[in-house]
Structure 1
């Protein structure tokens, strides 16, 4: 498969130059219809997952094979065997490995996160998944926000060769944690992309961009209760980020 990955290489780039770059928008899609809408509305990337009510789990493989012929933008696939915490048994970790192996021919990247019982990043198990997914890029999802020390967790994730961290900067929303996210972006220094997510909408994405200096943003763009991404909301966020 051709590499359709969307990312910025920013290490060594001045902050002034970074601020001039057009930020990217990833849309969390909890069904195939939302993925098609995200593509048509101008999103830059899709995070495909099932079960929105638990924050996302591994989607059916049939979704991905169907969407390959319907969307042009990269599809990153959530690999999460269940809702709840992010401490997994050996059997669940094996299930995650099998999901990556089975979905790799159709995916452009993967999204996952594994913690230890002490709420630190499980570097060994995360690194195993990254190696299995290679050369596809990987995102460490919002398990990151549940770690005991976000700044140490960032260093741990960098050590796993993760490309992107999806974070709200803590247990509350990205807007409420703007200052923390800004510190994480600064600490990352281009070694990993810090992607704010958690309550990101057209009403606050400009504020987040200005305050955090982030280059990639994550939103479900869900406005109505029907669980489908809103095309107008996606277009408005993209317009603001240009």
Structure 2
């Protein structure tokens, strides 16, 4: 059972390594559900972290229907991931009706070669998970990150089981969303091949003065706090998997 840590900082990547995780999904844009991280962060993580490194490639928050200009941004970001030594990228394209866009996703996967590709949780926004599974396989991704089309993976156990059976070893199924040491065994029992978690915690930031009524980004959990992947939480899950 592989353990992947969704990390938004170098600190979190180092904690993932110290905890014994197998892979990092490096992201930016916490408030948008994960977007492409900066080139500087990718490069520094690659220098300091020996784990497999997968880089989120998502040009903006919002939906997963992209125009030609946004697809060009995605390609440029894939170039950056290659330049700085990433092992893979995380991406996905949907149609306006919520189907996996096989043609556009496959084109991006081909462009990303020889990097590996995870199809991210855009999968959970599709109307039929088994049909979406076949479309992702057709597009050529190596794994799917999914909560079983529920708010959290523990709530999506039935769909996770169905996906594992239907995949029949053709693609890896990785469960993400609400994953922790307490539910790792239950999730593993579905037959999935990997678990994905942030192990998130918050601590006060260093800045002491904040004017009232001003926010840099609106709906951020707390601008006065710093999100990080907590080493103890990651270790607990890795030990539970072992």
TM over 0.5, yes or no?
yes
Contact 2:141/2:171 (<8 A) preserved? yes
> Hey, what does 1:218 align to over in structure 2?
196
TM-score by length of 2: 0.88
Instruction: Tell me which residue corresponds to 1:203.
Output: 182
Structure 2: distance between partners of 1:184 and 1:203: 22
Normalising by structure 1, we get a TM-score of 0.88
Which residue does the alignment assign to 1:239? 239
Aligned counterparts of 1:179 and 1:86: Cα–Cα separation in 2: 25
Contact 2:81 2:89 in 1 (8 A): no
1:56-95 → structure 2 map (5 Å cutoff)? 56-95=34-73
Q: Give the corresponding residue for 1:104.
A: 82
- The structure 2 residue matched to 1:114, chosen from 85, 93, 104, is 93
1:67, CA displacement in angstroms? Answer: 1.4
Contact 2:174 2:194 (C-alpha < 8 Å) held by counterparts: yes
Larger Rg belongs to: 2
Q: Which residue of 1 aligns with 2:3?
A: 25
Task: Give structure 2 stretches of 5+ with no counterpart.
Answer: 204-225
Which runs of 5 or more residues in structure 1 are unaligned?
1-22
Hey, what does 1:183 align to over in structure 2?
162
Are residue 49 (structure 1) and residue 41 (structure 2) matched? no
Give the RMSD, CA atoms, in angstroms.
1.0
2:160, 2:44 → 1: CA distance?
36
Alpha-carbon offset, residue 36 of structure 1: 1.2
Name the CA distance, whole Å, in 2 between partners of 1:158 and 1:231. 34
Contact 1:146 1:171 in 2 (8 A): no
Query: Residues 29-40 of structure 1 correspond to what in structure 2 (within 5 A)?
Result: 29-40=7-18
**Count, aligned residues:** 219
Higher strand share: 2
